Amino acid sequence: MDKLRICGNGPLNGEIRVSGAKNAALPILCTSLLTADTMRFTNVPMLRDISTTQKLLQGMGVRVMTDNVHEMEITADHLDSLVAPYDLVKTMRASILVLGPTLARFGEATVSLPGGCAIGSRPVDQHIKGLVAMGAEVVIEHGYVKAKAKRLRGAHIVMDVVTVGGTENLLMAAALADGTTILENAAREPEVTDLANCLVAMGARISGIGTNRLVIEGVDKLHGCEYSIMPDRIEAGTFLVAAAMTQGHLILRNAAPRSMEAVLDKLVEAGAVVEAGDDWISLDMKRRPKAISFRTLPYPAFPTDMQAQLMTLNCIAEGAGVVTETIFENRFMHVPELNRMGARIEVEGNTAMVHGVEKLSGATVMATDLRASASLVLAGLVAQGETIVDRIYHLDRGYEYIEKKLGAVGAHIERIS
Ligand SMILES: CC(=O)N[C@H]1[C@@H](OP(=O)(O)OP(=O)(O)OC[C@H]2O[C@@H](n3ccc(=O)[nH]c3=O)[C@H](O)[C@@H]2O)O[C@H](CO)[C@@H](O)[C@@H]1O
Ligand SMILES: C=C(OP(=O)(O)O)C(=O)O
Q: What is the pLDDT of residue 319?
A: 98
Q: Do domains 3-19+231-416 and 22-228 have the same CATH topology?
A: yes
Say if residue 179's pLDDT is above 90. Answer: yes
Q: Which band of pLDDT confidence, cut at 50, 70 and 90, is reported for residue 188?
A: very high
Query: Is residue 47 within 6 Å of ligand 2 at its C-beta?
Result: no
**Second-level CATH architecture of 22-228:** Alpha-beta prism (3.65)
What is the CATH superfamily name and number for domain 3-19+231-416? Enolpyruvate transferase domain (3.65.10.10)
Contact 380, 395 (CB under 8 A): no
38-82: per-residue pLDDT in tens? Answer: 999 999 999 999 999 999 999 999 999 997 889 999 999 999 999
Query: Is residue 163 within 6 Å of ligand 1 at its C-beta?
Result: yes
Q: What is the pLDDT of residue 355?
A: 98
Q: Which band of pLDDT confidence, cut at 50, 70 and 90, is reported for residue 1?
A: confident
233-291: per-residue pLDDT in tens? Answer: 999 999 999 999 999 999 999 999 999 999 999 999 999 999 999 999 999 999 999 99
From 47, 52, 122, 188, the mutation candidate for ligand 1 (largest count of ligand atoms within 8 A of CB) is 122
Q: What is the pLDDT of residue 331?
A: 97
The chain-wide mean pLDDT, for the chain, equals 97
Contact 3, 415 (CB under 8 A): yes
In this structure, which residue's CA is closest to atom 6 in ligand 1? 164
Q: What is the pLDDT of residue 135?
A: 98
- Per-domain boundaries in the chain: 3-19+231-416, 22-228
Query: Is residue 370 within 6 Å of ligand 2 at its C-beta?
Result: yes
Cis status of the peptide bond prior to 300, with omega within 30 of 0? yes
Query: Is residue 305 within 6 Å of ligand 2 at its C-beta?
Result: yes
Q: Which helix (H) or strand (E) holds 251?
A: strand 249-253
Q: What is the pLDDT of residue 9?
A: 84
Q: What is the pLDDT of residue 312?
A: 98
Say if residue 116's pLDDT is above 80. Answer: no
At a CB cut-off of 8 Å and minimum separation 6, what does 124 contact? 96, 113, 114, 145, 165, 166
Contact 389, 373 (CB under 8 A): yes
- The distance in angstroms from the start CA to the end CA of the chain is 6
Q: What is the pLDDT of residue 115?
A: 79
Q: How many CB atoms lie within 10 A of CB 318?
A: 14
At 167, phi and psi to the nearest 5? Answer: -60, -40
Residue 37 assigned as binding residue: no
386-398: per-residue pLDDT in tens? Answer: 999 999 999 999 9
* Ligand 1 atom nearest to 126, measured from its CA: 24
